[in-house]
């Protein structure tokens, strides 16, 4: 337990489905982490304080305090306390200025705000802002100008300039895929002939690529009139039942990329960074290549470093000397 000597912060990424806690050394290095299935939608009794205590009691106590900071849906309307959004452009300083402190059994808990992009088509994030700031800390060149893509249920495309989260878009690709797979006509063939995707499965890979290319080549028409090809290609025998979902996944990710790159001012020529689950980032990396973007890098689990950055800006931990 020698590492515990150096812990200076407890960081928590507390989302909809799970809670991930980190014991952090200076700079956000993870000394130890743990995950609990106590996301805000899964805590039926809404006893957030007990969930926090049970997760952290051997790491911190009122007798041996450590500052605690949390980001994600725990600060949403359905979480422990709603923390008002910080507006774009946002950086560690503006997020720290919006931190809301609540009392927990383990001492003060610092809740990080999400980020809102105001306008006629507003956009919001909670939790991703922390991952983004953590990713930017990994390479100073990224902070100048970069395009960050955070795949997932609600995928975020984020334009960073001068160290600030300038603007972003949300694509509900992961949620749409799950809906169509589980509840639509398109998901039925695969339900009747279940199949476990394998990277070694060339036909699955080909179906995924075909989906991406169909979406890409649709151009401005978009996906609306092509989603149904998942059905018609199955009916005509061109797609086997187990591969219909690979094709559908390609269609949806392809349309997301096509649409995101069609937006004005998306800096796709400069650094492009994928942040998140490695398997999903790999699918996006492959898909971006079909759009001529071959230089994307990938990072996993950048929340700890982002939590450190915000804690630092807030003054919860000592500011590191600039290297």
Distance CA 140, CA 120 (A): 33
CA distances from 318 to 26, 28, 90, 193 (A): 8, 12, 21, 57
Smallest distance from the beta carbon of 151 to a second copy, in angstroms? 13
What φ, ψ does residue 240 adopt, rounded to 5°?
Answer: -75, 150
Q: Is 171 in the site for a second copy (CB under 8 A)?
A: yes
Smallest distance from the beta carbon of 162 to a second copy, in angstroms? 23
Distance CA 87, CA 119 (A): 11
Smallest distance from the beta carbon of 3 to a second copy, in angstroms? 39
First to last CA, the chain: 29
Q: Is 179 in the site for a second copy (CB under 8 A)?
A: yes
Please list the alpha-helical segments (H only) found in the chain: 48-56, 92-97, 128-137, 140-144, 173-183, 188-192, 202-218, 229-235, 244-262, 278-290, 303-314
Residues between 131 and 150 with contacts to a second copy, criterion CB under 8 A: none
Q: Are 151 and 281 in contact (CB under 8 A)?
A: yes
- Give the Cβ contact number of residue 265 at 10 Å: 8
Smallest distance from the beta carbon of 6 to a second copy, in angstroms? 39
Distance CA 59, CA 32 (A): 10
Q: Which of 45, 103, 121, 202 binds a second copy (CB under 8 A)?
A: 121
Binding mask 70-109 for a second copy (x = CB under 8 A): -------x--------------------------------
- Cα diameter, the chain: 69
Q: What angle (nearest 5°) sits at the alpha carbon of residue 286, between those of residues 282 and 288?
A: 110
Smallest distance from the beta carbon of 224 to a second copy, in angstroms? 4
Distance CA 2, CA 323 (A): 26
Residue 28: name the closest of 281, 316, 297 by CA: 316
CA distances from 204 to 60, 95, 320 (A): 48, 43, 48
Among residues 11 and 72, whose Cβ is nearest to a second copy? 72
Smallest distance from the beta carbon of 241 to a second copy, in angstroms? 12
Contact stretch for a second copy (CB under 8 A) within 18-26, 86-94, 173-181, 314-322: 173-181
- The count of chain residues that interact with a second copy, using the rule CB under 8 A, is 47
Q: Is 45 in the site for a second copy (CB under 8 A)?
A: no
Q: Is 322 in the site for a second copy (CB under 8 A)?
A: no
Smallest distance from the beta carbon of 73 to a second copy, in angstroms? 11
128, two tokens: 């991703």
Binding mask 211-250 for a second copy (x = CB under 8 A): ---x----xxxxxxxxxxx-xxx-xx-x------------
Among residues 164 and 169, whose Cβ is nearest to a second copy? 169
Binding mask 244-283 for a second copy (x = CB under 8 A): -----------xx-xxx-xx--------------------
Which residues sit at the interface with a second copy, rule CB under 8 A?
A: 77, 116, 118, 121-124, 154, 157, 169-173, 175-176, 179-180, 182-185, 214, 219-229, 231-233, 235-236, 238, 255-256, 258-260, 262-263
């Amino acid at each position: 337990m020698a590492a515990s000597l150096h812990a200076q912060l407890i960081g928590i990424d507390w989302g909809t489905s799970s809670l991930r806690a980190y014991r952090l050394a200076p700079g956000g290095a993870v000394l130890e982490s743990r995950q609990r299935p106590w996301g805000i939608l899964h805590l039926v009794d809404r006893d957030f304080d007990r969930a926090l205590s049970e997760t952290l009691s051997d790491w911190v106590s009122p007798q041996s305090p450590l500052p605690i900071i949390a980001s994600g849906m725990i600060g949403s309307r359905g979480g422990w306390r709603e923390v008002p959004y910080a507006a774009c452009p946002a950086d560690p300083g503006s997020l720290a200025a919006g931190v809301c402190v609540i009392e927990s059994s383990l001492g003060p808990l610092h809740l990080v705000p999400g980020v809102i992009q105001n306008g006629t088509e507003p956009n919001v994030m909670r939790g991703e802002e922390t991952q983004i700031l953590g990713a930017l800390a990994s390479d100073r060149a990224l902070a100048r100008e970069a395009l960050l893509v955070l795949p997932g249920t609600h995928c975020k495309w984020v334009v960073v300039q001068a160290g600030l989260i300038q603007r972003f878009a949300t694509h509900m690709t992961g949620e749409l895929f799950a809906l169509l797979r589980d509840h639509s006509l398109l998901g039925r063939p695969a339900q009747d002939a279940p199949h476990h995707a394998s990277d070694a499965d060339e036909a699955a890979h080909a179906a995924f690529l075909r989906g991406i290319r169909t979406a890409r080549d649709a151009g401005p028409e978009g996906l609306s009139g092509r989603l149904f090809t998942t059905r018609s290609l199955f009916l005509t025998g061109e797609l086997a039942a187990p591969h219909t979902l690979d094709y559908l996944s390609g269609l949806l990710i392809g349309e997301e990329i096509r649409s995101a790159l069609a937006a004005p001012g998306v800096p796709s020529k400069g650094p492009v960074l994928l942040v998140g689950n490695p398997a999903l980032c790999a699918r996006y990396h492959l898909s971006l290549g079909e759009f001529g973007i071959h230089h994307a890098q990938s990072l996993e689990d950048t929340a700890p470093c982002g939590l450190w950055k915000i804690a630092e800006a807030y003054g919860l931990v000592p500011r590191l000397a600039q290297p």
